[in-house]
Amino acid sequence: MTTIYEVAKKARTTSGTVSRALNNKGYVAEETKRKIERVAKRLNYTPHFLARSLRTKKTDIIAVIIPNIANPIYPEIIRGIQDKAHELGYQVLISNSDALPEREIELLTIFSQKRVDGIFLGTGEGAENKKIREKIKKLSEAGIKLVVGGFIKDKLPTDSLSIDNFQGAYEVTKHLLNLGHNKIGFISGPKNARVAQERQKGYRAALLNHNILYHDGLVAYGNFQQESGYTLGKDFLQREKAPSAIFAANDVMAIGVILAAEELGRRIPEEVAIAGFDDITWASIIRPRLTTVSQPKYEVGSLAAEMLIQRINEENNRTFQRIILKPKVVIRESTLNQEKK
Amino acid sequence: MTTIYEVAKKARTTSGTVSRALNNKGYVAEETKRKIERVAKRLNYTPHFLARSLRTKKTDIIAVIIPNIANPIYPEIIRGIQDKAHELGYQVLISNSDALPEREIELLTIFSQKRVDGIFLGTGEGAENKKIREKIKKLSEAGIKLVVGGFIKDKLPTDSLSIDNFQGAYEVTKHLLNLGHNKIGFISGPKNARVAQERQKGYRAALLNHNILYHDGLVAYGNFQQESGYTLGKDFLQREKAPSAIFAANDVMAIGVILAAEELGRRIPEEVAIAGFDDITWASIIRPRLTTVSQPKYEVGSLAAEMLIQRINEENNRTFQRIILKPKVVIRESTLNQEKK
DNA sequence: CTGTTAGCGCATTCAG
DNA sequence: CTGAATGCGCTAACAG
């Protein structure tokens, strides 16, 4: 590796001047600057990232912690983060927590050891977990730049963003109710997953609003995987008094329900209407196309990266942003069968 | 931030000893060691990653360059890479090249500036591009640890792995021929994409093997996106003498073809058989389920990470591995409609 | 077994 | 405008 000293030597000057010249900082005569640039190029000089970082205390790297990159809602979010980050000169480190609080904490610890400039925590159950809240507080106090995505409970000392899960669920449920369904099954996520809880609350509130009794027997708890949607959906459909509509807390499970309905020979939406949440790519490819709640994934990612990097670039701002994005219900054939052209 | 010096001071010793104690290196008395550990814990000491890296010349980070994380074949590969990397103590930096050679080169340059210990290049057209080949050679000579995935043309001075694209395509095509199709449309990828070229060769070889004339008119060039599969598939199907089978160079385009067929009211596979390549998750969810060529994505990622990290941990080994994995044809309803239970 | 010393490569003082 | 000196925090080599 060629160092700044070698460049300085060949250019008959010193490291300080080379540094200033190459970084366009401070004064340096046009002529010496040109000379230095020529020599640097000839020697194929490239600054040593680590050394520079050690000095400047900036790595130009942000870390992203998400439950699982293989979960179809994340790639697009990640792409949004990456594009914005690259645009602003940052690289992106990505790790999976599998939504395990211990793992999230472990990763937060690793990344806060001065290897990255900031961290985006796309939390699983996340902020709902006490240990994680404490960890976040601690990091924030230690000056670690952090943005939390997903569900945010308290006024944590971080910037955060999430979509309005309650509202989204409320609205799809209302859509189903308006179609005349009064027995709607809900397939939730893991009991401790805050996102699922919120969606469940939205579902419940909509029922209430329509004067329909909330009934525990119509709520099943899955794990956000297709298999669980399939199993629980099948169970719902095989009951003596099966619900006429099923709303799953995410699209992946909703697709499982569609497969179950198909297997049982139930027509969708005539015999059973099905709705999901997320609007993953495949929601509009599967047949029937899936009614769901759409969140602008790419934009969420992009916005998250922007918030984080902005936070990185300012000192001691103790007012935190809390952005809650409005979701949008997308009505498709799985609840309403009518061609619109 | 608390440094090693503060720990040393409180423990009434010096930085060297603290370093040895905390890293379990060299000799250090049990007692002093315990003391140091206690103090370190009390002060909440955590080593400064950059400083350590500058000294040891290791970052414990690997970089991954892929065309696009939002392309459904990548998340699983990435997950394989991440899991293996984490297991071995590495973090993973991920960037998208959008299969643009200039972008690949740019990213290779950035990452080789001592910010990562090694690079996995999951190339788009990649090794087929002269500039990239040169770049790879240069980096290899400079001692940068590199593993290239995807299609590999020459005996480049790097480890590499890819699946046998030719073989996979050959076999699905043979499958179609054996079903009696003798007019098989092929939807390729971009003309400069080596992967697509190889798959096309496999298609062609299978035809030849069955004494069927290869016909340019039966080959269309897409861009690996669903939309192009849809458009080109529709075009094939609306011809006066439409092919009775269509083989697309990847699943995403094949799904586009399925949608086109559906829209035109053609029954699959009775009126048109459809096959893809990759076996993405959705290939088995879409109806009809898609016949395709399966590659063990998670394992590919895991293996790639393993190769790279092994390479990182050895000095000056100038013999390079070239692994070519065997793909497997998965027959589903889109070509062969029969229930098997 | 432990303390001292040096230096990784750079950016930033501070004199001049 | 430029050179010299300093130190970011750590580990490794060496002397004791």
> Would you list which residues of chain A are within 8 Å, Cβ to Cβ, of chain B?
1, 46-51, 53-54, 59, 61, 63, 68-70, 72, 74-76, 78-79, 82-83, 86, 91-96, 109-110, 112-115, 226, 255, 259, 262, 281-282, 285-287
Residue B129 has pLDDT above 90, yes or no: no
CA of B282 to C1' of D14 (A): 62
In single-letter form, the type of residue at position B151 comes to F
What is residue A133's predicted lDDT score, i.e. its pLDDT?
87
B4-47 and B165-295 share one fold: no
pLDDT band at B341 (very low <50, low <70, confident <90, very high): very low
Q: Which of B45, B66, B84, B115 to mutate to test the interface with A (most CBs of A within 10 A)?
A: B115
pLDDT band at B128 (very low <50, low <70, confident <90, very high): low
Please write the tens of the pLDDT for every residue from A212-224. 999 999 999 999 9
A300 HSE (CA, 13 A, CB side): 27
What is residue A340's predicted lDDT score, i.e. its pLDDT?
41
Q: Which residues of B touch A79 (CB under 8 A)?
A: 68-70, 96
Provide the 10 A C-beta neighbour count for residue A320.
17
Does B75 sit within 8 Å of A75, measured CB to CB?
yes
pLDDT band at B305 (very low <50, low <70, confident <90, very high): very high
What is residue B127's predicted lDDT score, i.e. its pLDDT?
58
What is residue B180's predicted lDDT score, i.e. its pLDDT?
95
- Please state, in angstroms and rounded to a whole number, the distance separating the CA atoms of residues B274 and B286: 12
Does B114 sit within 8 Å of A50, measured CB to CB?
yes
Please write the tens of the pLDDT for every residue from A116-141. 999 999 986 665 678 888 899 989 88
Output the average pLDDT for chain A: 92
Of B51, B74, B113, the CB nearest to A46: B113
State what percent of residues in chain A have pLDDT above 90: 81
- Please state, in angstroms and rounded to a whole number, the distance separating the CA atoms of residues B272 and B335: 8
pLDDT band at B130 (very low <50, low <70, confident <90, very high): confident
Q: Count residue pairs from A and B with Cβ separation < 8 A.
A: 112
Average pLDDT over residues B89-114: 93
Instruction: Using DSSP bridges, classify how beta strands A118-122 and B184-188 pair: parallel, antiparallel or unpaired.
Output: unpaired
Q: Which of B102, B285, B287, B297 to mutate to test the interface with A (most CBs of A within 10 A)?
A: B285
What is residue B38's predicted lDDT score, i.e. its pLDDT?
93
Does B96 sit within 8 Å of A93, measured CB to CB?
no
- Any idea where the domains of chain B sit in the sequence? 4-47, 57-164+297-326, 165-295
The Cα of B201 is separated from the nearest Cα of chain A by a number of Å equal to 30
CATH superfamily, domain A4-47, is lambda repressor-like DNA-binding domains (1.10.260.40)
Average pLDDT over residues A271-296: 95
What is residue B256's predicted lDDT score, i.e. its pLDDT?
97
Residues of B50-61 as b/e, b for ≥16 C-beta within 10 angstroms?
A: bebbbeeeebbb
By C1' distance from the Cα of B8, the closest nucleotide is C3
Choice between A75 and A154, residue whose per-residue pLDDT is larger: A75
Residue B227 has pLDDT above 50, yes or no: yes
Q: What is the pTM of this model?
A: 0.93
CATH architecture of B57-164+297-326: 3-Layer(aba) Sandwich (3.40)
pLDDT band at B123 (very low <50, low <70, confident <90, very high): confident
- Please state, in angstroms and rounded to a whole number, the distance separating the CA atoms of residues A261 and A190: 22
Q: What is the CATH number of domain B165-295?
A: 3.40.50.2300
What is residue A150's predicted lDDT score, i.e. its pLDDT?
82
Average pLDDT over residues B143-171: 89
> Would you list which residues of chain B are within 8 Å, Cβ to Cβ, of chain A?
1, 46-51, 53-54, 59, 61, 63, 68-70, 72, 74-76, 78-79, 82-83, 86, 91-96, 109-110, 113-115, 226, 255, 259, 262, 281-282, 285-287
Least confident span in A146-150, A225-229, A304-308, B116-120 = A146-150
Is the CB atom of residue A27 positioned under 7 angstroms from any atom of strand D?
yes
- Please state, in angstroms and rounded to a whole number, the distance separating the CA atoms of residues A295 and A74: 12
Average pLDDT over residues B256-271: 96
Output the average pLDDT for chain B: 92
Q: Where are the beta strands (DSSP E) in A27-150?
A: 61-66, 91-96, 118-122, 145-149
Please write the tens of the pLDDT for every residue from A44-56. 999 999 999 999 9
Give the length of chain B. 341
Q: For strand D, give the nucleotides within 7 A of a protein CB.
A: 1-14
What is residue A341's predicted lDDT score, i.e. its pLDDT?
31
What is residue B340's predicted lDDT score, i.e. its pLDDT?
41
Please write the tens of the pLDDT for every residue from A175-201. 999 999 999 999 999 988 888 999 999
Q: Which of A45, A50, A110 to mutate to test the interface with B (most CBs of B within 10 A)?
A: A50
The Cα of A251 is separated from the nearest Cα of chain B by a number of Å equal to 13
